[in-house]
């Protein structure tokens, strides 16, 4: 690991522990029921900017840290559910910055990327569609949202669902289907052609703006705001997909490390039946299992990051990492709740929230079962190739 990454990670960890964690008791964390308020986010970002840890994975010249370097930085940012918001490493912004940085024109980077990197704005990725209408979800080829060219503009119509952070976002990446295939567009938000139908209550509560359901009616987008070329949208999605899956693993691993710290402190101080909880085999073994799972998750992330750094899209590797890490984190979070008993199901610590957030993570960026199905197809494909 490089010295620069170690240095950045240490600064991020100190900032999250010293400055961000005290915000966990701020009433603005619960916002309007769908995540922290933007006022709170921007207040924390002002402090991160002053501390020199805002958007720490992107260097001053616009280049990104390697994926392996990014991993140790994002894990540290995740030590609080508020940490990634405070230092600007959260989803969907982190993945959107990566995509625009790799695919966007110089003009689009200047207009849209710059304000995301500076932490002045939040973004949303408008891809998923309502399942009740047969729209795209884990299978993006089912996309129903249309894009029709009209002179020097594109006209987009459709419905979107589970659009994380839309409420309050200033930048949107809209996916739609033209005659050529999938397309991506960058748009300024809010736009009167996009209306919020509802923001459903969800199991998680860490994301500003919640996960909105939207209707897009005659959204007119200048042609020069298309990201890349018409029909290439799924290819660009692959550029974003593997790193975004992996960065989710990084951030939530950080949260689970912190939850494990809290559960460990509880078990090492709480007495029951004449001895400390940690000395009861049933409790001690759960914490020991956590140690093992944390190490496995770190290694899996580092391995997949190395694959991405080699220039590979890492589609299969990121699927394996996402399944392995999300399932491990679920067990870690569950163990922490169990060790803490009644205290573990209250909001007195972040343990209860981490449990909820990690449960949702097993669905974000593809449910475990979809990734396993994709890997099974690869196994069959590779086997059949070997027969010839």
Q: Residue 273 belongs to a domain with what CATH number?
A: 1.20.140.10
Range of the domain at 169: 123-229
Within-domain flag for 99: no
Residue 251 placed within a domain: yes
Q: Can you tell me the mean pLDDT for 75-85? A: 96
Q: Mean pLDDT throughout 341-346?
A: 95
Please tell me whether the peptide bond between 92 and the residue prior to it is cis, using omega within 30 degrees of 0: yes
Max CA separation in the chain (angstroms):
79
Residues 242 and 224 grouped into a single domain: no
Tokens of 158: 């459709």
When pLDDT is averaged across residues 125-141 and rounded to a whole number, the result is 88
Q: What is the pLDDT of residue 282?
A: 93
Whether 181 and 198 have beta carbons less than 8 Å apart is answered as: no
Looking at the structure, tell me whether residues 265 and 300 fall in a common domain. Answer: yes
Tell the burial category of 95 from Cβ atoms under 10 Å away from its Cβ (0-12, 13-18, 19+): buried
Q: Is 80 exceeded by the pLDDT of residue 32?
A: no
Please write the tens of the pLDDT for every residue from 182-227: 999 999 999 999 999 999 988 998 889 899 999 999 999 999 999 9
In a domain, 249, yes or no: yes
At 277, list the tokens.
């909880």
Residue found under tokens 């007119």: 220
pLDDT for the residue numbered 374: 92
Which pTM was predicted?
0.92
Contact 41, 24 (CB under 8 A): no
* pLDDT at residue 279 tops 90: yes
- 219 and 240 both lie in a single domain: no
Q: 17-21, 35-39, 235-239, 245-249: which has the minimum mean pLDDT?
A: 235-239
Residues 355 and 239 in one domain: yes
Q: How far apart are CA 334 and CA 349, in angstroms?
A: 14
- Mean pLDDT of the residues in the chain: 93
pLDDT reported for residue 127: 92
For the cut 90, the answer to whether the pLDDT of residue 102 exceeds it is no
CATH of the domain at 58: 1.10.540.10
Residues 223, 258, single domain; the answer is no
Domain assignment of residue 262, yes or no: yes
Q: Is residue 98 situated within a structural domain?
A: no
Asked whether residue 307 falls in the same domain as residue 348, the answer is yes
Same domain for 261 and 372: yes
Q: What is the CATH number of the domain that holds 148?
A: 2.40.110.10
**Do 200 and 316 sit in the same domain of this protein?**
no
CA distances for 40 relative to 29, 46, 71, 204, 360, angstroms: 7, 10, 25, 18, 23
Residue 189: strand, helix, or coil: coil
Residue 387, pLDDT above cutoff 90: no
Task: Read off the pLDDT of each residue in 307-329 and give the average, rounded to a whole number.
Answer: 94
State mean pLDDT over 345-351. Answer: 95
Per the domain annotation, does 26 fall within a domain? yes
Joined tokens for residue 251: 């951030």
Strands 181-188 and 194-198 turn out to be unpaired
**Residues 51 and 81 reside in one and the same domain:** yes
Q: Cβ distance 233 to 181 under 8 Å?
A: yes
User: If you average pLDDT over residues 139-143, what whole number do you get?
Assistant: 86
Place of tokens 């694959």: 307
Q: Are residues 7 and 127 in the same domain?
A: no
- In this prediction, residue 388 has a pLDDT band, given cuts at 50, 70 and 90, of low
Q: How many domains does the chain have?
A: 3
């Amino acid at each position: 690991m490089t010295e620069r990454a170690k240095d950045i990670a240490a600064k991020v960890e100190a900032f999250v522990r010293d400055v961000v964690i005290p915000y966990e008791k701020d009433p603005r964390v619960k916002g309007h029921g769908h995540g922290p308020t933007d006022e709170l986010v921007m207040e924390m970002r002002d402090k991160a900017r002053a501390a020199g840890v805002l958007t720490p994975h992107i260097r001053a010249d616009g280049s990104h840290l390697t994926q392996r370097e990014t991993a140790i930085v994002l894990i540290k940012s995740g030590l609080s559910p508020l940490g990634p918001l405070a230092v600007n490493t959260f989803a969907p912004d982190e993945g959107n910055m990566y995509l625009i940085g790799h695919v966007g024109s110089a003009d689009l980077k200047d207009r849209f990327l710059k304000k995301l990197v500076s932490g002045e704005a939040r973004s949303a990725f408008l891809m998923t569609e309502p399942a009740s209408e047969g729209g795209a979800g884990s299978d993006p080829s089912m996309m129903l949202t249309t894009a029709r060219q009209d002179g020097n503009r594109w006209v987009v119509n459709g419905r979107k669902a589970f659009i994380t952070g839309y409420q309050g976002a200033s930048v949107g990446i809209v996916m739609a289907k033209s005659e050529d295939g999938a397309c991506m567009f960058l748009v300024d938000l809010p736009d009167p052609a996009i209306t919020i139908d509802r923001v459903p209550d969800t199991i998680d509560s860490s994301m500003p703006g919640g996960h909105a359901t939207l209707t897009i009616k005659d959204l007119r987008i200048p042609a020069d705001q298309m990201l890349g070329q018409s029909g290439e949208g799924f290819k660009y999605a692959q550029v974003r997909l593997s790193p975004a899956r992996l960065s989710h693993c990084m951030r939530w691993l950080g949260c689970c490390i912190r939850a494990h710290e809290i559960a460990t402190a509880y078990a090492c101080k709480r007495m029951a039946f004449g001895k400390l909880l940690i000395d009861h085999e049933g409790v001690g073994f759960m914490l020991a299992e956590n140690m093992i799972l944390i190490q496995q998750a770190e290694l899996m992330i580092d391995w997949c990051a190395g694959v991405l750094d080699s220039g590979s899209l890492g589609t299969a590797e990121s699927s394996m990492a996402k399944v392995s890490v999300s399932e491990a984190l679920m067990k870690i979070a569950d163990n922490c709740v169990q060790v803490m008993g009644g205290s573990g199901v209250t909001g007195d610590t972040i343990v209860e929230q981490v449990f909820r957030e990690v449960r949702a993570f097993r669905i974000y960026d593809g449910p475990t079962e979809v990734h396993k199905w994709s890997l099974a197809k690869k196994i069959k494909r590779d086997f059949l190739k070997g027969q010839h």
